[in-house]
Structure 1
């Protein structure tokens, strides 16, 4: 639909290499088919990156993009650490060019690229290689505008900006500001400020509809210079901690993130590694013990399942998750068998069982479910049922000046009472007309009952989330460290393990149940 509305405008997407849009590696046949369908549906430019900066993980996607006639842009996911030097980026640029790309992007997702570092990096790449170079900076730390200007002086070919009404904070520098800065210089863009203002005015109204979903950042955040948290990750952390009733723990989590990142080999913080590191930091803080619980994805990085890390990971943690096994040293996707046929058969089976009508191009639905198993299937079930989705956001109505005699302002509020969140609708007169318990939008029905009282040690939820899978069975004897169930929280799968040996009693949850922090999931007798 976007391509129909903008047939002459090149559309660009961000592609996570072998991860595509998901959080795991997919087999090469899935990568190939996804790119084919994306191009067919109107995508022109693919900015392909890998969270580990491992070029092996970008090769299949880049090759697929070029084979289907689209523009393949290789990406340097910029970060700083004792393991990253100028030579690191020059070597990666050379490797991407050898793989085959049409251009290179420097992706500064955290806004930590200093102006002088930008000048040096762009200058050296342009000096050594004949390649079109783009720069992508987030405005979170306040350095992005200066970094873009210095990169332009150094010869960068393109920079990413956002229209002013949708710019700054977690986003990008304002387009109009840069256009005005460059006006009358050798880098004059030729763009019309008045026409840009018309665009800004339009999106100014659009943004009002979504104000409730914006993060807390109002200006710049210097903590990012230490934590290196990308803008999207910061808003995600804020949201996650609110769901855990732990919004006051943000500073502790931001302090823990660099420590987790070091344990994982100084990996860049970009999707999905930003979510993995962030979630593990949250787990470390909320459980009160570092690595008491290790997320499945964290274990994957330690095992080498995501590719090379810049430096070796924490040896003790790696040994703990390997449990005597060997780490992955080859390209991780080389270990994957073709999976598209099996995925397609599975989606068609589920569609038949649930009475779902697949799209004319059924492969698009297959890929949707492959990348987003639970959410994708739910979407297919309800895509023709508007009532299944949240109401369309409405533009903020102009609020009249409140009269002194009114005891309360009308509106919908989230109120926390003794650790429980409630959504309250207040009328103009101050009367409460609706009161519901606030739960995450994606949650299923909440757990109806806790485990029955009795002898034994309760196994409780360390995080709020949804039960992904119950592995233990009633009456089963388990050893310390055995996986009892898997909790999906903060977009990650967290294994809940037995803290002691015992017999499973009183399983109180099933797959899909929503749980809160501290809920009893089962008991070990």
Structure 2
């Protein structure tokens, strides 16, 4: 039996999967970071350009400050940043020198472990990104093999990608990333050995979401097969559409004869912190999910599914839901089986909706992002796009317009646009975000860095009282506790 290590995803992927990436603020993370540093995690899945954008847009907090604060609080734990090649915050492609600046700033702020995820497995882009990261000073680069089920994504496909990763000196390890939670234990028993056989000794990790309730069992199978690291969520930020619950998985691994060297008491304290935070902030806690066989075909995640149902309801076309789901499966095949991870679900669903509700023939209407995908802006499609569909899309005048778009701005061009005195970190935020959002963040000043979930109900009560007319007496009465405040006149 093996010794397993854990990577905790609560702060980044748990927050994104369960709380729409908006649930955690700087204060929440600052409070728990010193505790997480001592648990014994191999690394913390900490940030992404999406998370950084949310910090600015939703919380008006500087994400670069949060990186530095967390690094100071967690000196003994690797902090992980996940990126998708040549993009930062915006899904528009960035120039190579902009990405060099991105990774240099991330390393300077304290990131040391980087996941390179290209949804189309464009290995030229993966290798170049890994090279840039190592040049910037990143100490550990992990390449993602993003798992899906399709006519082309068989074990041989992933083994071929693994062989290319093994040959790249800038890539230190790999992980199987299952964003939809559809990797079964049975498939793991053929896929993982095929990948490990090609990695030439480089370690393999598993990142499998719990969306269908499969991943807790798949993780146990992976541990038996030689996977070195499993990724988990803690407390309210585990299970559901996040990753398997850390405490339960550790117990199951040990019961299966494996060793997991971490501090159980501190792990429990971290889990309870996120439980208390969820209760205090009225955020949903992840719960074990039931298996849904239909998901294996359409692979549309729960949040995207909710949005689709709302869109159909707004159009008065709820009765076409079944037809749209069938069209999603058809469009995905015609577009070369893109993996249903952002931004591809939005593209596939947008095209399926246009085909069903557009009123004309299929592909009479084509969203710009689908055209860009066919043009290769998001990497080379895994399988060839259906020739008939390709011709219908590329023959459109809009395709010729998008094909003639100017190249992305370089760093010197960005400095001319935003001012030469603009610092690198601010420059990168302005590159990827609307000007007003960055201005709002700067105007808000430093983020609050202290938080106690236990006092939040009292603080809410006090804020509510502050909005009401003056009262002579206030009484708080609950089982085992009574507080009575009287005005001076009584």
Q: Could you tell me the TM-score, scaled by structure 1's length?
A: 0.64
Q: How does 1:339-350 map to 2 (within 5 A)?
A: 339-348=410-419
1:307-337 deviations in Å (ceiling 9; x for gaps): 2212211223322332389x99xxx9xx947
Change (3 A) 1:62 1:206: same
- The Cα RMSD (Å) is 3.5
Contact 1:28 1:60 in 2 (8 A): no
Superposed displacement of residue 34, structure 1: 0.7
Question: What is the DSSP-based 3-state SS (H/G/I as helix, E as strand, rest coil) of the residue aligned with 2:419?
Answer: helix
From 296, 301, 317, the counterpart of 2:368: 296
Question: What is the DSSP-based 3-state SS (H/G/I as helix, E as strand, rest coil) of the residue aligned with 2:145?
Answer: strand
Change (3 A) 1:286 1:220: farther
What residue number does 1:114 align with? 184
Change (3 A) 1:314 1:215: farther
What residue number does 1:307 align with? 379
1:249-273 deviations in Å (ceiling 9; x for gaps): 7655443322221121112122222
Corresponding residue pairs, total: 375
What residue number does 1:371 align with? 432
Using the alignment, how far apart are the partners of 2:260 and 2:414 within structure 1?
47
Q: Could you tell me the TM-score, scaled by structure 2's length?
A: 0.68
Question: What is the DSSP-based 3-state SS (H/G/I as helix, E as strand, rest coil) of the residue aligned with 2:259?
Answer: coil
What residue number does 1:29 align with? 97
Change (3 A) 1:163 1:85: same
Contact 1:169 1:220 in 2 (8 A): no
Question: What is the DSSP-based 3-state SS (H/G/I as helix, E as strand, rest coil) of the residue aligned with 1:383?
Answer: helix
Question: What is the DSSP-based 3-state SS (H/G/I as helix, E as strand, rest coil) of the residue aligned with 2:205?
Answer: strand
Change (3 A) 1:275 1:340: farther
Q: Could you say which structure has the higher helix fraction? A: 2
What residue number does 1:66 align with? 134
Q: How does 1:69-468 map to 2 (within 5 A)?
A: 69-70=137-138, 71-99=140-168, 100-128=170-198, 129-183=200-254, 185-209=256-280, 211=282, 219-230=290-301, 234-239=302-307, 242=310, 245-246=313-314, 248=318, 253-287=324-358, 290-323=362-395, 336=407, 339-348=410-419, 362-372=423-433, 374=434, 377-386=435-444
Superposed displacement of residue 124, structure 1: 2.3
Stretches of structure 2 that go unaligned for 5 or more consecutive residues are 1-68, 459-463, 465-490
Change (3 A) 1:365 1:223: farther
Change (3 A) 1:66 1:293: same
Change (3 A) 1:37 1:118: same
Superposed displacement of residue 212, structure 1: 6.0
Question: What is the DSSP-based 3-state SS (H/G/I as helix, E as strand, rest coil) of the residue aligned with 1:80?
Answer: coil
Question: What is the DSSP-based 3-state SS (H/G/I as helix, E as strand, rest coil) of the residue aligned with 1:306?
Answer: coil
Question: What is the DSSP-based 3-state SS (H/G/I as helix, E as strand, rest coil) of the residue aligned with 1:160?
Answer: strand
1:44-86 deviations in Å (ceiling 9; x for gaps): 1111011111112222211111122321111111112111221
Using the alignment, how far apart are the partners of 1:130 and 1:216 within structure 2?
36
Change (3 A) 1:313 1:209: farther
Using the alignment, how far apart are the partners of 1:288 and 1:397 within structure 2?
52
Superposed displacement of residue 340, structure 1: 1.8
Change (3 A) 1:282 1:197: farther
Change (3 A) 1:297 1:124: same
Q: Could you say which structure has the higher strand fraction? A: 1
Change (3 A) 1:139 1:316: same
Change (3 A) 1:127 1:312: closer
Contact 1:303 1:318 in 2 (8 A): no
Using the alignment, how far apart are the partners of 2:312 and 2:396 within structure 1?
34
